Chain A
Amino acid sequence: MFAASFEYHRAASIKEALGMLAQFGDDARLLSGGHSLIPILKMRLAQPAHLVDITRIGELGQVAETGGRVAIGAAVRHYQVESNPIVRGKIGLLAECAAHIGDVQVRNRGTIGGSLAHSDPAADFPAAVLALEGELKLEGAAGARTVKASDFFVDLMTTAIKPGEILTQVSFAPLPAGAGYAYFKHPQPASGFAIVGVAAWLTLDAKGAAQNVHVGVTGLGAKAFRASAVEKALTGKAPDAKSIADAASHAAEGIDALADIHAGSDFRAELARVYTRRALENAAARAKR
């Protein structure tokens, strides 16, 4: 199908975009990369009367290092996250995650802000953003506020963004020296969406025990989550095959697994455990004392 009629508006600044959102209210949707929104429009699952394009706003397309943190604008494309030297050098887990999104065409258009704001349960970025403890900047008419990644993903396709607010930036502290990281996913063969995706990073202390274990899981439940039971189980232990397998066995604990024709809930839970194990094994192998 093709989309129902809409009016296209191009915002030249964040202020202008906020003004348009205020003016059109519930009838407007923000357009960033469009690779979550346009398919929804084409299937007529949503019929907004107005689209506000924010990809021409210069500051939303920047990657910069400011105040010791890596700040990525919301309209930065996936391929930029994948290839940018600052991202690869300081928060390499995010670049590795970006490299697994969809396909080349999707990565050329899709944006990190759009992916996070849409919060599809099978999106890849939420797992890495949670594991890296990113902070998200939301701007509204009343000003800007910062939300931690752990508070940002609230429920199924529901984030902490309030009506009339725009996600403008996500920022991260650089990974500590010697950290090892990995992103592993089980892709849906046609769309490339993560049936389950696991982003993990850890450091090794002087004795070779795992510390700072961070594991973000997507695709399993209604929203991406930190597998804290896995993290606790591995912290302070030498990461060998057995300790990792034991820790990974907790990956699906407490989560209501989704089910569809590609994977039932039991299979999804098992995939979560397997891919958590793989991600941790690779992260541990890449970590340096």
Chain B
Amino acid sequence: MKLAGEQILPASRERVWALFNDPNRLSRLIPGCEKLDVISPTEYAGTLNVGIAAIKGVYTGKLKLEEVRPTEHYRMIVDGKGKQGFMRGSGTLDLAERDRNHTAVVFAGDIQIGGPLVQVGQRMIDSAAKMMLGQFFAAAEAELKAEAVGKVARQGFFLNFWRYLRTVIKSRLARKS
């Protein structure tokens, strides 16, 4: 499955880079992330308890970083599995400055997913991945906005879910009018 897109975050490249490389803050942005441990500066191990509606599961995995160019680019290699299935893949993340306070996060990746979850839910995997990316970016935006005023954003699974849903609803309303 190919995953690609671009999201604008309301912060400079330096601040976005700092956010994405701080495991404590990053773990609060990833949907369902319960743990993100640093094994080395370029390797993390994590646990995710994540899903959609009734279908939730725990996944454990490793994340490796390569081709690290600070504030610009890195390549991620992911390998995770759980009772419901496994996921393996790699992708690139590029940060491009739009202006002093806005950064475009450009991501592109290729992921293999398998196991019981895919056997029955293959048609939903793309949509589910889009939802989770949406939640991640909604959380990142909230965190950056809060940081700008010296606060720490409240994060949490349902809170980011509703933040993401608000953006969906807003864009639908905008389309209607």
Interface residues of A (CB under 8 A from B): 29, 37, 40, 43-46, 48, 118-119, 121-122, 151, 154-158, 163, 221-222, 256, 258-262
Contacts and interface: CB of A to CB of B under 8 A. Distances in A.
14 contacts: A40-B54, A40-B55, A43-B116, A45-B57, A45-B116, A46-B55, A155-B165, A157-B124, A158-B165, A163-B158, A256-B127, A258-B126, A260-B122, A261-B122
A121 B53 contact: no
A195 to B, nearest CB: 9
Nearest to B157: A26
Contacts of B169: 151, 154
B124 A45 contact: no
B131 interface: yes
Interface residues of B, number: 25
Contacts of A262: 123
Nearest to B175: A254
A155 B168 contact: yes
Q: Is the interface of A mostly helix, strand, loop or mixed?
A: loop
Contacts of A158: 52-53, 131, 165
A260 B123 contact: yes
B48 to A, nearest CB: 15
A4 B55 CA distance: 14
B117 interface: yes
B59 to A, nearest CB: 13
Contacts of A44: 83-84, 116
B56 interface: yes
Interface in B91-135: 116-117, 120-124, 126-128, 130-131
Given A155-B131, A157-B124, A46 B168 contact: no
